[in-house]
Chains A and B, each alone.
Chain A
Amino acid sequence: MVGKSKIWFWIAPTALPLMLLSSVPVALLGYISLTSFEIGYDWADHDFVGLANYRRLFSGREVEFWPSIRLSLIVTLVSVVLKTGLGLGVAVLLNKKLRFEYIATTLIIMPMAVNPAIAGLMWKLMLSFDFGIVNAAAQALLGYKIVWLGQSWALTSVVVVLVWMHFPLSALMLLGGLRNIAPEPLEAARLDGCSNRQVFWLIVVPQLWPVLIGSSLFQAILAFQAFGPIYTLTDGGPGSSTTILPLFVYKTAFTIGSVGLAGAAAIVLVAITTALSVAMMVIGRRGHQG
């Protein structure tokens, strides 16, 4: 057995800075959310205002706050369904031992290499009204162009970019899950006369369930905190039609300069993502036991 002092000799210099690094910024953020600090002033000049920032947010006087939560929920829900669906489809295909499997995998995971700001800009170029390739295709196929980044389509465009960026991750996670499923029960079911479709929905999907839930929750966390691609694609606009919660935090803190108020909104964001990750851990643990 190792002595107690010896344990702390190892833990103190390593785990302690880690704990500080992870808890101090959040604690500081919590404190900032209780102050009236604004950009342009000295930090020493801030006033402690208690829960005033939260009251202001929740009262609806900050007209963009509740809409930003609503938009975040829509973007998260729709993009997670699409990412998981597309990821599952690709994972099933990659699991079929098709030809060119290696090159296909390489091409499919390429979006993971692109940094978020450049991803947003790439799509902004492709979706451009005048010289975008997407509108060139629309003109040829439909006979008219669409204002992809205008009021009615911008949110759809944001979802498309998020799906493009993140679906490869779902595909990889689900492919790993598919490869862990034992082949014997599937063979047995086929011999008993089950169709491929029945085998997939009745045997494969239930076994894949923990991975499906895990990857969906992880994707929900990613979608809820998406910032870079939307910053460069629409900057939350036009108007505030794509101002999801992270964009609201950024505008409030760095464009308007009300850091205290933005801190309160950021705490809401942290609370939501933490709840999602706790759910993920609980389900992950249950999956291990079951």
Chain B
Amino acid sequence: MKKAPPRIREHALLALACLFSAFPIVFMLLTSFKTRAMLYEPARVLFEPTFDNYRAAIVQYGLHKFVVDSLIVSVANVAVCLVLGTVAAYALHKFTFRRKELVVFTILSSRIFPSIALVIPFYIIGIAFQLLDTYTILVLAFMVFNLPFVVIMMRSYFAAIGPEFEEAAMLDGCSRVGALLRVVLPQVKTGIFATGTMCFLAAWNEFTYALFLSASNVNMISTAVVFFKTERGILWGEVSALGVVAILPVIVLCFATQKFLVKGMS
């Protein structure tokens, strides 16, 4: 048998692509442990790490408050979207009716609307109903992109399971709601989990709505970076610390749920 060639060129190119992808994140991680003076030596990798940036981000800027606000908005949004979206997906999967395609298209199309355009009507709604700078307006606005996503995903999960169990349950006297709760939903558990995870990440990282619809009362971590500016410039150490805290849960969550995510996607 012929020995496989080592394919050095391919490995080198792939390594280059990895470097391009990961370098900015590694660089930010390094910067978050540097003192302000060390910023002028960007290429320095070996140095005594300082935790001052993290301390300043928490004590002076209330980093923990940003994290809590992000969690409240994201979790509430995911909960609402999962409940509404799953039931809607089930209804759209089970029943046919006139103009169904139009209904589906209308629902899905809102997902690709540019947030910078839709933030304007949400801003007006916020003014009119005095909802600006509240959790409510952010949870509502995030539904624009997360709810259609739940519908798309859950529809495909429902399509993947056969109708037999459900029909058997209904023959045994289960109502359709009962069949949905007891028979159908347990079969798409991983799907719900994967969808919820991706919704959470989208909400956690959302920037445009959070920037213009909140001010001092609600501050998500995604927009908090904007405050780290003084007249002398951007506080790079603190910004990097905040960036690390913002990215960390995403990476941890991706690793922890990778098995489910891959299963859910295929």
Residues of A whose CB lies within 8 Å of any CB of B are: 2, 7, 10-11, 13-15, 17-19, 21-26, 28-29, 32, 37, 42-43, 86, 89-90, 93-94, 96, 98-100, 104, 107-111, 113-119, 121-126, 130-133, 136-137, 164, 168, 221, 224-225, 227-228, 231-232, 246, 249-250, 253-254, 259, 262-263, 266-267, 269-270, 273-274, 277
Beyond A19-B107, A125-B28, 4 extra complex contacts between A and B, CB < 8 Å: A10-B87, A37-B124, A113-B205, A115-B207
B13, B124, B208, B239: which contacts A121 (Cβ < 8 A)?
Answer: B239
Q: How many residues of B are in contact with the other chain, CB < 8 A?
A: 79
For A267, the chain B residues whose CB sits under 8 A away are 117
For B206, the chain A residues whose CB sits under 8 A away are 115
A110 CB to closest chain B CB (Å) equals 5
A11, A122, A130: which contacts B95 (Cβ < 8 A)?
Answer: A11
A181 CB to closest chain B CB (Å) equals 17
The 3 A-B residue pairs with the shortest CB-CB distance in the complex, in nearest-first order: A22-B110, A225-B114, A14-B88
B56 at interface (Cβ–Cβ under 8 A)? no
B173 at interface (Cβ–Cβ under 8 A)? no
Interface centre among B25, B90, B128 (most CB of A within 10 A): B25
CB <8 Å contact, B124 and A117: no
Residues of B whose CB lies within 8 Å of any CB of A are: 7, 10-11, 13-15, 17-18, 20-22, 24-25, 27-28, 31, 39-43, 84-85, 87-88, 90-92, 94-95, 97, 103, 106-107, 109-110, 112-118, 120-125, 127-128, 143-144, 147-148, 151, 201, 204-208, 211-212, 222-223, 225-226, 234, 236, 239-240, 242-243, 246-247, 250-251, 254
Between-chain CB contacts (< 8 Å), 17 pairs: A18-B151, A22-B144, A25-B122, A29-B118, A32-B120, A37-B124, A42-B127, A90-B17, A96-B7, A96-B10, A111-B24, A115-B206, A117-B207, A118-B222, A249-B120, A259-B120, A277-B112
For B112, the chain A residues whose CB sits under 8 A away are 221, 273-274, 277
For B205, the chain A residues whose CB sits under 8 A away are 113-116
Number of residue pairs A-B, CB distance < 8 angstroms: 237
**In chain A, what residue has the closest Cβ to B244?**
A118
Bound CA–CA A239/B87 (angstroms):
49
CB <8 Å contact, B121 and A32: yes
For B243, the chain A residues whose CB sits under 8 A away are 114, 118, 121-122
CB <8 Å contact, A93 and B94: no
**In chain B, what residue has the closest Cβ to A260?**
B120
Known contacts A26-B113, A131-B42, A270-B113; A117/B222 CB under 8 A? yes
Bound CA–CA A269/B112 (angstroms):
11
B116 CB to closest chain A CB (Å) equals 4
Bound CA–CA A222/B208 (angstroms):
14
A108, A123, A227, A270: which contacts B208 (Cβ < 8 A)?
Answer: A227
Interface of chain A: mostly helix, strand, loop or mixed: helix
**In chain A, what residue has the closest Cβ to B117?**
A266
CB <8 Å contact, B226 and A253: no
Bound CA–CA A121/B222 (angstroms):
12
CB <8 Å contact, A2 and B95: yes
Bound CA–CA A270/B251 (angstroms):
32
CB <8 Å contact, A277 and B128: no
CB <8 Å contact, A125 and B240: yes
For B247, the chain A residues whose CB sits under 8 A away are 113-115, 118
Bound CA–CA A111/B23 (angstroms):
10
CB <8 Å contact, A15 and B115: no
CB <8 Å contact, B148 and A22: yes
CB <8 Å contact, B225 and A232: yes
B15, B118, B250: which contacts A26 (Cβ < 8 A)?
Answer: B118
